[in-house]
Amino acid sequence: MRVTAIVPAAGSGSRMGGAEPKQYLRLAGVPLLSRTLLALTASGCVDHLVLVVPAGQEPRCRAEILVPYGIAAERVVPGGADRQASVGAGLAAAPADSDLILVHDGARPFVTGALIRQALAAAAEAGGAVVAVPVTDTIKRADETGTIRETPARAGLWAAQTPQAFQARLFREAHQRAQADGFRSTDDSALVERLGCPIRLVPGSRDNLKVTTVLDLILAEALLRAAAGGG
């Protein structure tokens, strides 16, 4: 099975604020995005790596993110206006011989080899797989006036993370169909679900956080300290 990892890292990090995109921020000295890519390559499961970065930043990413850490990415391609467009750009650059596509957010540096392997195995068997964790807050659906319309039972609700893995043929079809139908989502699996394909849920870990806000950055630093034995 040839596995291609697509890493969308073309966002602007608006919720983080700050002068530059969060992928360049250093966590204990190493750029966030380098950490994510090193975790992926260390899994030993990835045959091809396609990195998607903000248009025009390909040289900077090679110089700051890839080269200093000896990370080999087959392709570094410009992303699009939303995450789905960026993953689509990565998919267009994926080698034709890919059997499985693994999508993993550039902003999730704590992914483990075990999670990657479980996602790939489930996708190979079922068609697609999503790493997710049970929600801990009760979820409300509200309308545009701020009035609550629905409170779904918490049992059975999961927060989707990445990695997400899909059989390549299925994922390409899902992107084409979403494009044709004008369907947009921040979640890769949502595109495949609407084809009616069953997707396997892989229980993940809250450690696999997406660095989105300054609070996440503080949490990420604390996780790294704990892993280094510093408490």
Residues that bind Mg ion (CB under 5 A): 11
Site string for ligand CTP, 117-136 (x = CB under 6 A): --------------------
- Closest to ligand CTP by CB, 12 vs 138, is 12
Whose Cβ is closer to Mg ion: residue 25's or residue 126's?
25
CB-neighbour burial class of residue 16 (10 A; exposed 0-12, middle 13-18, buried 19+): buried
Residue 70 per-residue DSSP state? T
Cβ–Cβ < 8 Å for 74, 48: yes
Locate 67 and state its tokens. Answer: 């080269």
Residue nearest to ligand CTP (CB): 11
105: contact with ligand CTP by CB under 6 A: yes
CA dist 224 → 16, 34, 36, 221 (Å): 19, 14, 13, 5
**What is the secondary structure of 170-196 as a DSSP string?**
HHHHHHHHHHHHT---S-HHHHHHTTT
- Comparison of 86 and 167: residue with beta carbon closer to ligand CTP: 86
> Residues 61-100: x/- map of binding to ligand CTP (CB under 6 A)?
------------------xxxxx--x--------------
Residue 187 binding result from Mg ion, ligand CTP, none, given CB thresholds of 5 to 8 Å by partner type: none
Among 62, 177, 194, 210, binds ligand CTP (CB under 6 A): 210
Torsions phi, psi for 109 (to 5 deg): -80, -10
Q: Which residues are near ligand CTP by CB under 6 A?
A: 8-15, 52, 79-83, 86, 105-107, 210, 212
